[in-house]
């Protein structure tokens, strides 16, 4: 059990560029969540996958955001045409089918849009 991993850990980009983040959940976890955390705030829910199906998306997830989990294992979060307001920490979490109430978080990807 190596825990939830996220790559890259840091990303600096210019406004208007596209960025993609990856999350690898704990191997047997079928549930995967993305959250966004801005400075001084708690994490806010973005989207949820059960296996490969995206079952819920927050209204925070604008049309510029897309998330996938093609084989029910790793997930990617893409932001198109980045804006300065997208600067935040993007957290991924996963949970087990047997203990789905408890989520295990990755270290996050810190995005800075210049």
Partner 1 sequence: AQTVTQSQPEMSVQEAETVTLSCTYDTSENNYYLFWYKQPPSRQMILVIRQEAYKQQNATENRFSVNFQKAAKSFSLKISDSQLGDTAMYFCAFMKPSTSGTYKYIFGTGTRLKVLA
**Minimum distance of partner 1 from residue 71's CB (angstroms):** 19
Shorter beta-carbon distance to partner 1: residue 92 or 113: 92
Q: Which residues, in sequence order, are bridge partners of residue 49?
A: 32, 54
What token pair was written down for 25? 């959940």
Which helix (DSSP H) or strand (DSSP E) does residue 93 occupy?
strand 88-95
Kindly give, in sequence order, each residue whose CB lies less than 8 Å from that of residue 99, ignoring residues fewer than 6 positions away.
none
When the beta carbons of 50 and 80 are compared against partner 1, the nearer one is: 50
CA distance 39 to 100: 28
Nearer CB in complex with partner 1: 58/76 = 58
Q: Which residues bind partner 1 (CB under 8 A)?
A: 3-4, 31, 33, 35, 40-45, 48, 50, 55-56, 91, 95, 100-108
Closest distance between partner 1 and the C-beta of residue 18, in Å?
26
């Amino acid at each position: 059990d190596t825990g939830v991993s996220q790559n890259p850990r840091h990303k600096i980009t210019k406004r208007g560029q596209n960025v993609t983040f990856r999350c690898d959940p704990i191997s047997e976890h079928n549930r995967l969540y993305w959250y966004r955390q801005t400075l001084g705030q708690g994490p806010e829910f973005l989207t949820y996958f059960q296996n490969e199906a995206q079952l819920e998306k927050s209204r925070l997830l604008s049309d510029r955001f897309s998330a996938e989990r093609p084989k029910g294992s790793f997930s990617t979060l893409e932001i198109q045409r980045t804006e300065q307001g997208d600067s935040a920490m993007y957290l991924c979490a996963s949970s087990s089918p047997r203990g789905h109430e408890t989520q295990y978080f990755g270290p996050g990807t810190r995005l800075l849009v210049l």
